Structure 1
Amino acid sequence: MSTVARRTNPVTEMIDWLESGPAFSLRGLASYIRVEDFTDEGEYVVRAEIPGVDPDKDIDVTVTGDVLTVRGERHEEERDKNHSEFHYGSFSRSLRLPRTASPEDVKATYRDGVLEVRLPMGEEPKTSAHIPVQRGKS
């Protein structure tokens, strides 16, 4: 397994995390989704813990530019409860994709409370190029 090259630094990662929504609210864990990412056989993989949802109705996955966004909603069952630490309601998490991730062929699967999104990895883009300067007409 190889590592994923990031084009951000830890400060930028922290800003992205803060902008993705508050991790805590007065009721406890709010709109935060725990994720992990790695590369596997030429694909960039993001796994997100989202238990207790119906993937057909409650999860929306989009790629806009170089950002992967997972949105959804967990619905509360009507029951007489004495105590609950479950979070119900809307949630969202956005992650910046590596430069080589190719959003054209994204695949998402949901199994056992875990959403897995796979994107093919392309070649490392050139970071610099020599540009010849042509003489303009006088």
Structure 2
Amino acid sequence: MTTIARRQRFSFPDLPDWFEAFPTRFAMPTMSDLSTVRIEDYIENGRYAIRAELPGIDPADIDVVIDDGILTVKAERTEREVDKNRSEIRYGSMSRSVALPADANEDDIQADYTNGMLTISVGLREEKAEAKHIEIKHTT
């Protein structure tokens, strides 16, 4: 019996994978995508920093809150009252919450809004808690 080797049907090996991912590549954003603030976080100069992308939002419409180790950024973009032929701009409320590092100093916080980017910087405590050894009780 002779076996026939199958040749690849596509000259581009990634093409079938691309088509399988096609629906997600061009899917319409969901409401949760539209109401989430996009962020990046990093440590710089001994401080925990978060940058939030908030273009075109009035700083008076931005609220930053820290509660129980959670930093929350809330913002709202209000729609202009003009006749529009088309609008692709997102309007409404958006928010994002991030857990602060365990050594964050909630009394040392700075925020700056420049060119549509909100940068929040939180100081980090230098003293680290020492490891604690816990005695294990054993009953027989």
TM-score, scaled relative to structure 2: 0.69
Structure 1 residue 24 displacement after superposition = 2.1
2:83 matched residue in structure 1: 80
Structure 1 residue 85 displacement after superposition = 1.5
Structure 1 residue 80 displacement after superposition = 1.7
Structure 1 residue 128 displacement after superposition = 3.0
Higher alpha-carbon deviation: 92-101 or 77-86: 77-86
Q: Which has the larger radius of gyration?
A: 2
Please give the residue correspondences for 1:9-88 in structure 2 after superposition, counting only pairs within 5 Å: 24-25=30-31, 29-55=33-59, 57-88=60-91
Partners of 1:41 and 1:105 lie apart in 2 by 14
1:115 matched residue in structure 2: 118
**1:63–1:80 CA distance, 2 compared to 1 (3 A):** same
Is the Cα–Cα contact under 8 Å of residues 29 and 87 in structure 1 kept in the other structure? no
**1:110–1:129 CA distance, 2 compared to 1 (3 A):** same
After superposition, the C-alpha distances for 1:84-127 in whole angstroms (9 at most, x for unaligned) are 12111111110011111111111111000000000011136436
Q: CA RMSD in A?
A: 2.2
Structure 1 residue 131 displacement after superposition = 5.6
Instruction: Find the partner of 1:98 among 88, 97, 101.
Output: 101
Residue 119 of structure 1 aligns with an amino acid whose one-letter code is V
Structure 1 runs of 4+ with >4 Å offset:
none
Partners of 1:101 and 1:95 lie apart in 2 by 12
Q: Sequence identity, in percent?
A: 44
Partners of 2:30 and 2:127 lie apart in 1 by 37
Q: Which runs of 5+ in 2 are unaligned?
A: 1-28, 136-140
Partners of 2:130 and 2:81 lie apart in 1 by 55
TM-score, scaled relative to structure 1: 0.70
Structure 1 residue 82 displacement after superposition = 1.6
1:3 matched residue in structure 2: none
Q: Which runs of 5+ in 1 are unaligned?
A: 1-22, 133-138
Structure 1 residue 65 displacement after superposition = 1.3
Partners of 1:124 and 1:94 lie apart in 2 by 26
